[in-house]
């Protein structure tokens, strides 16, 4: 099994496998090809044989390098999630120093991830693969969670315990995720006088006010 470096795998991601550097590691080219296919189809329709064909290698190549389809999909999810985490971190940094503004920026980045790369999101956060299935996915998930936790922690009043920060981070993320999923499946009643973004940002404002109130 090869030693994985997330930065090296990411270099070729986002370009067509036909345009990727032929000298790039085969693992990188296979992941790039899979991510390209996930831009238009869900992981349930992703064929290892077709990915290998896109790269111009034997249909056995993905299995040789990743061991199983599940491990391959987890690696693909890991690279896609790492890109999303980096974009979210950049969005948060650009929001300035005000903690609540940074929290709203993080939520906006997460919603953009779901909208622009829904199949990658669903692969990374769905039931198809587990974080333990590949180190790439595990590290990317930790990076994203760390960003969420640190962003939420900055919104807490002095004296908030580390365990409370963890719980509040999970509640904030779960709230955004839940609203986004309800909207995706058109389960928010049309009588609700707000769209998905308005609901998400209103929910974060309410959570923030509650956190601050508990500090007094």
Residue 80 tokens read as 């896609």
Q: For residue range 178-216, list pLDDT tens digits in order.
A: 999 999 999 999 999 999 999 999 999 999 999 999 865
Residue 155 near residue 208 (C-beta atoms within 8 A): yes
B/e letters for 85-99, b = 16+ CB within 10 Å, e = fewer, are beebbebbeebeeeb
pTM, two decimals, is: 0.88
The string of pLDDT tens digits covering residues 71-123 is 999 999 999 999 999 999 999 999 999 999 999 999 999 999 999 999 999 99
Q: Which segments of the chain does DSSP mark as H helices, in order?
A: 6-10, 26-38, 48-55, 61-66, 69-94, 99-116, 118-125, 135-153, 162-184, 196-214
Q: Options 1.10.357.10, 3.40.50.1220, 3.90.1150.10, 3.30.70.120; which CATH number does 6-214 get?
A: 1.10.357.10
Contacts of 147 (CB under 8 A, 6+ apart): 85, 88, 89, 92, 106
Measured CA angle at 159 (ends 158, 163), to 5 deg: 120
Distance of alpha carbon 210 from its chain centroid, rounded? 27
């Amino acid at each position: 099994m090869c030693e994985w470096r997330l930065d090296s795998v990411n270099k070729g991601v986002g370009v067509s496998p036909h345009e990727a550097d032929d000298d790039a590691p085969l693992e990188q080219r296979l992941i790039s090809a899979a991510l390209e296919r996930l831009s238009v189809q869900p992981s349930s329709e992703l064929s290892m044989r077709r990915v290998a064909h896109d790269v111009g290698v034997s249909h056995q190549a993905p299995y040789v390098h990743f061991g199983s389809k599940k491990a391959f999909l987890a690696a693909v999810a890991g690279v896609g999630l790492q890109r999303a985490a980096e974009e979210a971190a950049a969005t948060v940094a650009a929001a300035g120093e005000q903690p609540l503004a940074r929290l709203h920026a993080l939520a906006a980045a997460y919603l953009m991830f779901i909208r622009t790369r829904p199949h990658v999101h669903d692969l990374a956060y769905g039931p198809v693969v587990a974080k333990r299935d590949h180190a790439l996915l595990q590290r990317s998930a930790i990076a994203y969670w760390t960003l969420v936790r640190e962003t939420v922690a900055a919104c807490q009043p002095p004296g908030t315990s580390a365990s409370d920060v963890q719980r509040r981070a999970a509640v904030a993320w779960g709230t955004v995720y839940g609203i986004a999923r309800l909207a995706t499946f058109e389960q928010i009643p049309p009588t609700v006088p707000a769209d998905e973004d308005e609901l998400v940002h209103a929910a974060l404002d309410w959570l923030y006010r509650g956190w601050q109130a508990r500090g007094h």
